[in-house]
Each structure stands twice: as structure tokens, then as C-alpha cells.
Structure 1
């Protein structure tokens, strides 16, 4: 054998390894392509998250930002929400539990929210301005009977600008911000 034929002969195991890797890679791509169709099949959606604890039974999601992102935003409605329906335009605020809101032109810290009528909680109780104030007291007013120290520790950080709030009428609530 010549030195060149010896080097080719010696490289055949390498060629076989490269060929095997290419075949395995092609098979993996084909399997991934075939599996992609199954992802769109109808059935049960299961959501996995990196949190390891059971959510609180008092209504507040736990596990910090991850719990809020995965559970809070999908299970609970806010007064207003960000419209994230389009990736190619800036997000705007849209109604949710509040049908409209106004900022006082003479005091831009004063927000008035008109609430959606006919909304019920899971237990059948009515959503109204008293429910908004009750829930804000649960997070922000330490002497309120429903104040929840653990829930406040997580929820208060999400609404640091709230200075005060009050019921105007059954379907109107006023929230005053710090700035």
C-alpha cells in the first residue's frame, strides 16, 4: 500500500462516523418534523413552569414573577390590560374589568374606572367597586380584616404607585397614584 492509500484506509472509520452522524441527524430532523404536526392536535393543554410550590389558596399567585406570568395573567382579569395581540405595533391599554377610565385633567394622579356590570366571581358573588376596594385593602391596608401578609408581600410590589382608592358608586372606583 502506498502512503496515500494507507491514509484513506485509516480515515474510513472517520468517514463511517461522519456518515452515521449525518444519518442520525437526518432521522432526528424527520422525527421532529413529524412530531410538529402532533403539537397542533386537539386535546388537553398542559402548562409546565419552573415553580415548585402549590399556589396559595387565598387567591394570590406565588412563585414570584414566574407564577404571576403563568398563572396570574391567564386566570385573573385586571381592570385594564395591555393589548398584546400584535407583534408589529406598540401595545396599548384596553378594557377588561373596567369598561373605561379617565384621568382627572386637573390632578393627573386621580384615575376613575367605570366597571363592567354583571361580572361574577367563581363563587357567584358580584364584582363591583366594593370588591375592587376589598381586594386592594387585602394587599395594602394592614389593619383590614382581610389583609394577608404573605399575599401582600408578593402583590404589593406589583402596584407600588397606588396611594389611595375609594368607591364612588357601585360601578365606579377611584384610584389615586403617588405621582
Structure 2
């Protein structure tokens, strides 16, 4: 076998090897696109479930507020109003319980997910008047209204009292500061 025959044979073999590999990049590209589509579909599914969960919880909150608003005036119509609010939000009212002035509401929403099937999401909310009234005394200070914030709760740093100007602030044992930041005494 001559040199030219050997070179021609190697050329044919390398050409055949290149032709055998032809099209494999297309297969890898299709496989990668399929993987990306699967991941994107998973993200879309998780996102839609989260949106539906927030939707059913928001509907429960609104229904509870509507029921609590009418709980004192007309207890019979309170749960009817909660049912109307839930229906307007495209969810089903499962339970409406009035305990005095407090409304306890449960709502549900059925969703269909691809490859998983049908699932039911539930939301629960309570609403009623706040425990704090103007006549209530603060448990720490015994005064009416909110607790005074003379010190920051975590750092302990002082905060100016309401109505005080910065030049009037005084720390313990400190002379008042002037506007320029120097001490007067």
C-alpha cells in the first residue's frame, strides 16, 4: 500500500466519523429545550398555586371583615354577607362562625394542576374589634395610650421626646447642645 492509499483511507475514515456525528448537536439542543420547558412549567405551576393560595386567603380576610362589621348590628346577616363577599371573590365559603363580636371564616378554592390533578386550597381568617381601647391602661406603665418610647427597645439608645427640638435634648449628666453641635456649658 502506497503513501497515497494510506492518506486516502485515513481521509475516508475521518470523513465517515464526521458524518456519523452530524446532527447530534440538534438532538442535544432539543433535549436542552425540553429540560428548560419542564423547568419553566414547574415554575409556572408553583407560581399559580401561590397566587391561588393568596387569593383564597384574601377572600377569607375580606369575608371575615364583612362578617365582623355586621356581627354586632345584625348577626343573622353577617354570615350571609360573608358568603356574598366570598362568592364575588370566586371562592366557596366553608364555615362562618360568630362568637360574640368575632367572626371566624373558612374559605376554599379548587384548582386543577397539570400532571398533579385537582387540589383544594383553604383559607382561614378571624376578624373583630381590637382588644385595645382608649380607656385601657398600658400594662407596663399604667398610663392611657401607647407606651412612651424614651429608649429604643433593642439598642437602648435615647430618642427625642415629641415636640422637643434637637438643641433641647439632654442625655443623663450632659449639658444641652447648641445647633452647631457644641456644648453651651
Larger radius of gyration: 2
Asked if Structure 1 and Structure 2 have the same fold, meaning a TM-score greater than 0.5 normalized by the shorter chain, the answer is no
Higher helix share: 2
Q: TM-score, normalised by structure 2?
A: 0.29
